[in-house]
Structure 1
């Protein structure tokens, strides 16, 4: 392994995290340094992406921005949608330009939505379409996730990817909780008429993140995707099964994170201060639980942990329905918080399925007489591309959740009961898919494909 510094930035050649000697000698240190900086960049990206879940709480006639409930939900739908759409090109960009180079760009571009929000969010009479455009630029923050995860998966050996991807994603997801805590701090200290202060905090942080990424991160040749990797991943059935499951886990996390404050306002008539006092708790615990989900998946298998996560999500949603019918504020907040924790666990375990399913297919190829090095190289290539596709599709779940809430609360009345019932039905479908594709015993019936099983964790072999 050697390092060169061309004009385009530092590149490490011959990177192979599966090589134990190389990993112990220098690979572990390099991987962890890049992980820390990746978490920082992704964390700020998530904060900028979810900033509108906070800014809409400030919008009122008192500051000349009296939007309807439906318009406010639309303001959180737009950045979610754009972030989802951009995840695929962001994932590819890492393989084209290198992890360090793209992280510097992805961090710097966040100055656009932060500056625009700072300039316009306190300007009375600003029309809705202006805020929708600004919110669309904030979608770049959500796209950071895909490029960051694609990059980090190349730094760590397969046996450690559940933990590494969990830490990377969990640290990024914490950005949702942090920006909501910042909103609470602003409202509780200077009142709910100064939303520009929220955006102002991130301007220097974005600059620092871009500078540190430029100075301390690395590009590795292993991240380079061969032509056709995305098409190859798109043709693999596991890409779409995992994407379907990720809609249920990450879609829940980001959808609930963006909507929670508005749901409390329209379900219980909470003030901005009351809503902001609770909205950060769920995303905080959900972010912390994501690495735990990855670690549990490393030990017990991603499919097992994912299945039980969906079982618990369904039960938690049932509790949410009961709390809504009883109009119990405390039970409602508690049930919502539990859903965040469970979605975090499911996020970690579902993403572990990506390298695990690819590795299982590689083992099957080798068993059939295929060449080992080529099989595992393909597995790593497929994993990187699948992360981008699953991240993009999964984020669309957040769009669906906010559209469901928008429909439920349109006009300022109504209840979220129908939306919650829809979410419960989707979790049931995810349970069935997880069991059928990854956990059911292999069948011998002609014409019925057997599931591709995960490699069993070492402690149960």
Structure 2
């Protein structure tokens, strides 16, 4: 078996790998795994910085005291706009990997993060208009796109049996950018520094991520944009079902990451420094546990893990409603952290389901071996951008729900009731679509050929 070749393609510049076959065990052992892991490492770094820049406004709004003239509703609207842009740009970022190459686009997308960071550095002061802050927030949204391109790229490097772990590690390492920027902000606030100090720290880190991607990452010639695959994925009901479920997991994670500090300051009267001491814990644990969610999905089936995870998220939200009504800060913070952990676990299990579902559909079509794997990769890669984008829109919904809840009731309790209802629906959808027949409700009249695809969904 030929070892992976990193010889440049004749018609394209940069580091291009001509032959890539991760499903072949010999190929994988003879060098494929080493190359894949190296690309994963530097993909995580770039995505990590992207998440930090995307979510920096969750921290910057804590710096913005009364002298900035912004109401709590203004701040929730600002973070909603940032989240919205981050969700929308995930679609073009998914296709950019095939156009430019995974390595090349990582360099470009990392470099683009300088725009919102430098822009925020220049306007972050009292007296700046709210509309200006909204515009800069729009620019910061591009950091959310790095996730989609990174996941699409890493999905192509790893075999199906390793995707849950690899995608979970890639996404988890990126998600950690959320608590890291919050921790850095805590240090800056504690040292009586201003928001410009925080922004100034990240400018050289962005440059470092771009340089390291240029030095150590690779492009795959086998990754090509397939407009037919994109259309097929958009037409497939499972793309939209998984989008709905991903709203409940990743939408919760990113939405709560933006909103947690504001809820603590507005509902419980915490100072920015007091809030900063608490806000990083949930996103940190939620990020760290995401690879575990992928690993559990690899072992026990993503559908099963996702189902039980939604039970936990609903239960935690119920306790949050009680803590909110009782104004119990210790209970509120403790359970909110649990909810972050469960959202991270669910992020790993839901994203692992995507390649498994399309692989199961390929087998149901009668495809076998590499043909089935290629069909699964084709559709799962195309669907990931859409699912990631729609899932991130859940963060917009969470921030807008909190905004309306504070406007109407003066607390976040009303928003939590809505979230509880959503998690209940997600549980029902997961069971009905992916586990119902697998648990024994299929009738005796169901033929083996009809049952096989449904049974395989329980293992995705």
Q: State the TM-score, normalizing by the size of structure 2.
A: 0.94
CA contact under 8 A between 2:251 and 2:392: conserved in structure 1? yes
Comparing 296-305 and 216-225, the one that deviates more: 216-225
In structure 1, what is the Cα distance between the partners aligned to 2:359 and 2:340?
29
Q: Deviations over 1:259-306 (max 9, x none)?
A: 000000111111111111100000000000100000000000000000
Aligned with 1:222: secondary structure?
coil
CA contact under 8 A between 1:361 and 1:452: conserved in structure 2? no
**Residue 202 (structure 1) aligns with:** 202
From 368, 385, 404, the counterpart of 2:382: 385
**Residue 410 (structure 2) aligns with:** 414
In structure 1, what is the Cα distance between the partners aligned to 2:271 and 2:358?
48
In structure 2, what is the Cα distance between the partners aligned to 1:446 and 1:305?
29
In structure 1, what is the Cα distance between the partners aligned to 2:49 and 2:82?
15
From 173, 180, 183, the counterpart of 2:182: 180
In structure 1, what is the Cα distance between the partners aligned to 2:275 and 2:215?
40
In structure 1, what is the Cα distance between the partners aligned to 2:265 and 2:149?
34
In structure 2, what is the Cα distance between the partners aligned to 1:251 and 1:53?
15
In structure 2, what is the Cα distance between the partners aligned to 1:160 and 1:389?
22
Aligned with 1:9: secondary structure?
coil
How much does 1:444 deviate? 4.5
**Cα distance, 1:453–1:146 mapped onto 2, change above 3 Å:** farther
In structure 2, what is the Cα distance between the partners aligned to 1:148 and 1:339?
26
In structure 2, what is the Cα distance between the partners aligned to 1:269 and 1:456?
46
Q: Deviations over 1:47-88 (max 9, x none)?
A: 000000000001113xx4120001011111111000000001
Task: Say whether 1:95 aligns with 2:95.
Answer: no
How much does 1:376 deviate? 2.4
Q: Deviations over 1:364-383 (max 9, x none)?
A: 122xxx46443321110111
**Cα distance, 1:354–1:80 mapped onto 2, change above 3 Å:** same
Task: Say whether 1:11 aligns with 2:16.
Answer: yes
**Cα distance, 1:60–1:25 mapped onto 2, change above 3 Å:** same
How much does 1:10 deviate? 1.1
In structure 2, what is the Cα distance between the partners aligned to 1:455 and 1:420?
31
**Residue 349 (structure 1) aligns with:** 349
User: Structure 1: which 5+ residue stretches go unaligned?
Assistant: none
**Residue 427 (structure 2) aligns with:** 431
Aligned with 1:224: secondary structure?
coil
1:80-91 → structure 2 map (5 Å cutoff): 80-91=83-94
In structure 2, what is the Cα distance between the partners aligned to 1:113 and 1:453?
47
In structure 2, what is the Cα distance between the partners aligned to 1:453 and 1:349?
17
CA contact under 8 A between 1:45 and 1:142: conserved in structure 2? yes
From 64, 68, 77, the counterpart of 1:65: 68
Task: Say whether 1:402 aligns with 2:405.
Answer: no
From 5, 21, 26, the counterpart of 1:21: 26
**Residue 306 (structure 2) aligns with:** 306
In structure 1, what is the Cα distance between the partners aligned to 2:444 and 2:402?
44
CA contact under 8 A between 2:437 and 2:454: conserved in structure 1? no
**Residue 452 (structure 1) aligns with:** 454
**Residue 138 (structure 1) aligns with:** 140
User: Structure 2: which 5+ residue stretches go unaligned?
Assistant: none
Q: Deviations over 1:407-447 (max 9, x none)?
A: 11238x61111100000000000000000110011634999
**Residue 32 (structure 1) aligns with:** 37
**Cα distance, 1:351–1:361 mapped onto 2, change above 3 Å:** same
In structure 2, what is the Cα distance between the partners aligned to 1:408 and 1:198?
30
**Residue 129 (structure 1) aligns with:** 131
Aligned with 1:228: secondary structure?
helix
RMSD of aligned alpha carbons: 1.9
Q: Deviations over 1:204-257 (max 9, x none)?
A: 000010011011100012322333111111111111111100000000000000
Q: Deviations over 1:107-156 (max 9, x none)?
A: 0000001101111112x210011111111111111110000000001111
Q: Deviations over 1:171-223 (max 9, x none)?
A: 000000001111111111115xx111111111000001001101110001232
**Residue 249 (structure 1) aligns with:** 249
Residue-pair matches, total = 449
How much does 1:3 deviate? 2.2
CA contact under 8 A between 1:16 and 1:222: conserved in structure 2? no
